[in-house]
Amino acid sequence: MKIDCTLYLVTDSTPAILGKNHLEDVVRAAVEGGVTVVQYRDKHSDTGDLIRTAQSLRTICRQHSVPLIINDRVDVALAVDADGVHLGQTDMDIITARQLVGSKMIIGVTVSSLAEALTAVEAGADYLGIGTVYATPTKEDTKAILGTAGVRDILNHITGLEKAVPTVAIGGINAKNIQRVMFKSQGRRKRLDGVAVVSAIMAAECPKAAAQALRRLAAEPPGFITGGRPNRVKEVDDLLRQANNVIQDLGAKHPLCHNMTNLVVQNFAANVALSIGSSPIMANNGDEAPELAKLGGALVINMGSITPEARTNYVRAAQAYNACGQPVLFDPVGAGATKLRRDTVKSLMAECYFEVIKGNESELSVLWGVLDTQQKGVDSGISTSSDLDKAALTMKLAARERNVVVLTGKTDYLSDGTRTYAIKNGSGYLGRITGSGCTLGTTIAACLASHREDKLLATLSGILMYEIAAERATLRDDVKGPGTFVPAFIDELADVARLAHESNDS
């Protein structure tokens, strides 16, 4: 039997999820709303009750031509003539189950590692449930949190197998992250065939509407994917020529640059934005983001001053910009310095999509998951990594997150996972003033808002604009130190923008 895994519902009859609703009513509403597979999962009821409920669900599902899968219990699946059975790693093995249920019944398997996936396919699994993607209260025996990177790794390795097996991701998936999960987990030649959800439908106030929304979101590309695949420029000379065009567009469009940053640098960030031709707003309340996101600008999230309330506002704002398809830049300041910062990074990376991540080597190492020592403050510290190591970290993180990553330092590294470049512009004064990293983020975000076709090109344009202006300011006779550098730097930013516009007129 062919199975459509687009929207796979796993039931949960516990009071914490189902509440006062009746399971059959919820399932009926869900299949009417577009659920394509129903898995009946109940770890607590007696066998007789399981069979009676499964019979009711089978009737509902067959009325809508939706397969009914029974979790774990091969005996119950056989008793009610279900369409299939789903097995976990601690349940009956596939070969034994196949001998019992015959060749026509669907057998799905939960896998949480590449080895488990390969074993399941070789044994004859008809589909794989890959997870857990995110932590969830509905499964207490979670062995590992895979994240989207872990899902993608499994997809990449099962692509070339002789048998093509449908796949669904499961674990913490809901309307807010379903598109991001499907996008970020996409392998080189294979993408997920669907997602499995539990509480997103079972605990919904209106299960039918919830199913309809999830089905629609699963079918649509996420808002932050703009147009088709861009004609991505690789040659440095071509990138430099096009960077000038991006700066021209910035001045012509005057895009909004929404900064969620610390109070210390808000004034500096606003002046930088104005000098390059952007329109700044400093708004740290996430409740404002849904309206601001509709204005066609970009969002900068800078973790300079972090509180539990700030974390909530960051997520709310980023999700609003994601929903509108507007770019978000994340600056994980001091990502490894404290538990609060590390937890905030995990939360933001799990719940939001960032077109650009910008940070120093220590911060990006925390995001990659390789930093085993506590970061001291917001500084990167003394690096023992080679240039190739830094470039590799930047490229690997960009490839994993399917975005653009900037590693800042004496030499900056920039990558979209395919194209990777080193940038050696800038001034020593940038390391001696407050907020230079924050305002670099502002500049990049403004360029992202004005040029959506190629994120790496937009990011490169922002970096060059910023660092060339710093070099020009350093050479001025009136700059005697950090105090005189700042106003000269803002002047030079405006002048770089002016020269770009004039080159377009000439």
Q: Terminus-to-terminus CA distance in the chain, angstroms?
A: 67
Q: How far apart are CA 299 and CA 260, in angstroms?
A: 8
Q: Specify the amino acid at residue 408.
A: T
Check if the beta carbon of residue 85 is closer than 8 Å to that of residue 107. Answer: yes
Residue 438 a catalytic site member = yes
Both tokens of 454, joined, read 């190629």
Question: How many Cβ atoms sit within 10 Å of the Cβ of residue 297?
Answer: 26
Q: Which of 101, 88, 84 is nearest to 36 (CA)?
A: 84
Which residue among 5, 61, 352, 438 is the active-site one?
438
188 C-beta neighbours (distance < 10 Å), count:
9
Question: How far is residue 136 from each of residues 39, 142, 183, measured CA to CA in Å?
Answer: 17, 9, 20
Q: Which two three-digit tokens encode residue 51?
A: 């069979």
d(C-alpha 118, C-alpha 274), whole Å: 55
SS3 131: coil
Cβ burial of 176 (10 Å; 0-12, 13-18, 19+) is: middle
Residue 357 near residue 397, CB atoms below 8 Å: yes
Closest CA to 470 of 423, 424, 425: 425
Three-class HEC string of 348-365: HHHHCCCCEEEEEHHHHH
Task: Supply the residues annotated as catalytic.
Answer: 438
